[in-house]
Structure 1
Amino acid sequence: MIGDLSSEPAPDAYERLIVDLDTAGARYRLIDHAPEGRTELVSALRGHEVAHAAKCLVVMVKIGKKQTRYVLAVVPGDARLDLEAVKRLLGGSYVSFAAKDKAEELAGSVSGTVLPISYHPRLELIADQSLLAFPELFFNAARLDRSVALATDDYLRLATPRIERITTTA
């Protein structure tokens, strides 16, 4: 599993990602581009179909009145997240996108640069099964001006996401 650096000072999310990818022998490449965090626009800058982008969304799920869980939902860039599917998977009573400040705190990076990897123990990682169709996933590397193209099988091996259907066609 990627990134257990608990005994060391916490590096920034970008540095941690690169160290983890290199340490694990992952097949990836870096892509520098103009600063952009919107999936459709950054996909064009990186030169790939929007569907090949790993769009990362932080979701809050209430379980009854007392428990709150957070999910890092990773879906293809051209797909819509099915919030109800996430709620059902966790047995929730309420679901919504997390507040921006909470999402950025849990993700360790600003909105538009969230990695498809969870480094926070309270952020559960669920990836949509349709991502498995692509040989490579593209995502901003915890910064707006640099992206990563990562082999999908290395992503699955390193990030160990829960794989479910969490997209909707509506």
Structure 2
Amino acid sequence: MAKKKTHASHGTPAVVALDRAGVAYDLHTYEHDPASGLSYGLEAAAALGADPAQVFKTLLADVDGTLVVGIVPVDGSLDLKALARAVGGKRAAMADPAAAQRATGYVVGGISPLGQKQRHPTVLDESAAGFDVVYVSGGRRGLDVSLAPDDLLRLTGGRTAPVARA
């Protein structure tokens, strides 16, 4: 994976954050097709020719009144109870999509764990450790970035825990 010097044409906050951090990553673009019938994440995996277990979606949940980012494989779902436990909370519910968009600065289907308007507690599913590289949204529909899970954790201040359900 080669770090590119600049990705000005894809200047989402996520790409800017990656460039500033100087970590190795690659950009992957594809044409988002709203008529595909697939979820955003499964559409990305299919378009990229990647294993859906290696492509991760970014979800926001409200855990005891605090927004928390859960990052799980696109072929699974977020276990809200496990997410709450991972951050020392009691109750979790999916965040309202409008609240998620306001808090992150991204639209649903393009929410990246990187470069959000403000940093939120972040939990990456432990399955990411099984890959040298994972794919996450680059900050818009049709743009993914691949990077090492350790770099993702470092840049988000996140931790790993078993928060995905098949």
Question: Would you say same fold, with TM above 0.5?
Answer: yes
Q: Does 1:82 align with 2:79?
A: yes
Shift of 1:116: 2.2
Shift of 1:110: 0.5
SS in 2 for 1:19: helix
Q: Tell me the equivalent position of 1:32.
A: 29
Shift of 1:142: 1.0
Q: Tell me the equivalent position of 2:13.
A: 16
Q: Pick one of 51, 54, 58 that aligns with 1:52.
A: 54
Q: How does the TM-score come out when normalised to structure 1? A: 0.79
Shift of 1:121: 4.1
1:101-120 alignment, distance < 5 Å: 101-117=98-114, 119-120=116-117
Q: Pick one of 94, 98, 108 that aligns with 1:97.
A: 94
Aligned mates of 1:15, 1:118 — CA distance in 2: 8
Aligned mates of 2:86, 2:149 — CA distance in 1: 23
The residue type paired with residue 84 of structure 2 is K
Q: Tell me the equivalent position of 2:45.
A: 43
List gaps (5 residues or longer) in structure 2.
1-9, 34-38
Q: Tell me the equivalent position of 1:147.
A: 144
Q: Which moved more, 1:156-165 or 1:74-83?
A: 156-165
Q: CA RMSD in A?
A: 2.2
Q: Which moved more, 1:146-155 or 1:86-95?
A: 86-95
Q: Does 1:127 align with 2:135?
A: no
Aligned mates of 1:125, 1:118 — CA distance in 2: 13
List gaps (5 residues or longer) in structure 1.
1-12, 63-67
Q: Tell me the equivalent position of 1:159.
A: 156
- Contact 1:59–1:98 (Cα < 8 Å) also in 2: yes
Q: How does the TM-score come out when normalised to structure 2? A: 0.80
SS in 1 for 2:58: strand
Equivalences, count: 152
Q: Tell me the equivalent position of 2:67.
A: 70
Shift of 1:122: 6.2
- Contact 1:50–1:77 (Cα < 8 Å) also in 2: yes
